[in-house]
Amino acid sequence: MSMEKQSPIQCLILGSGPAGYTAAIYAARAGLRPVLYTGSQPGGQLTITTEVENFPGYPEGIMGPEMMENFRKQAERFQTDIRYGLATGVDFSKRPFKITIDESEEIFAETVIISTGASAKWLGLESEQRLNGHGVSACAVCDGFFFKGQDVAIVGGGDTACEEAAYLSKICNKVYMLVRRDELRASRIMQKRVLNAPNIEVLFNHSTVEILGEDSVSGILVKDHLSGEEKTLNVTGFFVAIGHKPNTDIFKNWLDMDESGYLITTPGTTQTKIPGVFAAGDAQDKVYRQAVTAAGTGCMAALEAERFLAAEEAGAE
C-alpha cells in the first residue's frame, strides 16, 4: 500500500503546460504541497513551438521550450513535487480520489487539478506518421523555417490553418492549401489574408490520399472530390492544421464534456461537476487556447482548490 493512501496528496496536478505549472506555483505558495505529474509531453504543446512573442514579460520573445523550463524551475522553487508519469485512470466516486499512474501505481488525492491539455489531430495516414518529423509537421510556426524557399502544402480550413498558411507564404515559395469543403471556416479577416496572398493556392473540395516519399516528403497525392481525379503535388513539406483534441478520455465516465471532449466547468470558475475536481488550460478551453489564458485558469484552479480545502477544514472544526 502506498504511503499516499494513509496521507493523501492535498493537491494533485495532472499536466505540465502553462496551466499545470501556474497551478503548482500558486498551490505550493499556499502551502498545499502539490504533486504534479508531467503527462506524456512534459512542458506541453509549447515545447514543440519555437518563438513565443505574445506572452507578457518577454519583450524580445522567448523560445517555447525555454519558457516551459522557466515555469518548471519556478514551480520547483516553491517545493512542488514534480514527477514523470501519465494518469491512465481515475476513480472520482469518493474522496480521497483515486488516480492510476502509468497503469500500475495508485495514488490518492483530496483535490485534483486537471491540466492535461490538448494534442494536434492527424489525418490518420500511415505515411503521415512514418514521415512525421521528416517533412510532415503539425506546427508550421515551429517547422516552417526548414522549408524556406520550397513548395509546401497545408491541410485545414479554419483559423489555425489560415494563420499557418499565411505564415508559410512569407518564407516558402508556394503554399497549397487543401480544404475538404467548398469554403473556409476561418474568420473573414483570415480568409482575406489567405485568398489575397499571391503564392497561396487554395484547393477546395480536395483531400489527401497519400504522402509520397521514402525518407522525406517528395510530394502528395490529392483527390478532387468533384471530378474524382487524383493528381500529385510536388511539395517537400506537409503541414496538418485540422484542430486539436483535448486529452480528457480518462475522465469520460466522471465529468461533463462537450462533443469534442473539452471539459465543462461552472462559468467563471474552473470547478467541474465533482466538488474538489478542477479543470484548467486547453483541456477545458476551446476558444482561446493561449499560453497566457491557460496560465490564468491554472491560477484560478489553485485558488479554488485552496478555498475548497480551507472551507472543509473550517467545517470540520
pLDDT tens readout for residues 182-227: 999 999 999 999 999 999 999 999 999 999 999 999 999 999 999 9
pTM, two decimals, is: 0.79
Supply φ then ψ for residue 100, to 5 degrees.
-100, 130
d(CA 48, CA 128): 17
H-only helix segments in the chain = 3-6, 18-29, 64-77, 126-130, 140-143, 159-171, 188-196, 291-316
Q: Is the pLDDT reported for residue 284 higher than 50?
A: yes
Distance from the Cα of residue 108 to its chain's centroid: 26
Confidence band for 27, pLDDT divided at 50, 70 and 90: very high
Average of pLDDT values for 80-104?
97
Q: Which residue spans of the chain are classified as CATH 3.50.50.60?
A: 3-119+244-316, 126-240
170 neighbors 199 (Cβ within 8 angstroms): no
* Active site members: 139, 142-143
Fold annotation for 126-240: FAD/NAD(P)-binding domain (3.50.50)
Confidence band for 2, pLDDT divided at 50, 70 and 90: very low
Question: Strand pairing partners for 179?
Answer: 204
Average of pLDDT values for 149-167?
95
Q: Which three cell numbers stand for residue 217?
A: 516528403
Provide CATH code, domain 3-119+244-316: 3.50.50.60
235 neighbors 176 (Cβ within 8 angstroms): yes
Average of pLDDT values for 73-88?
97
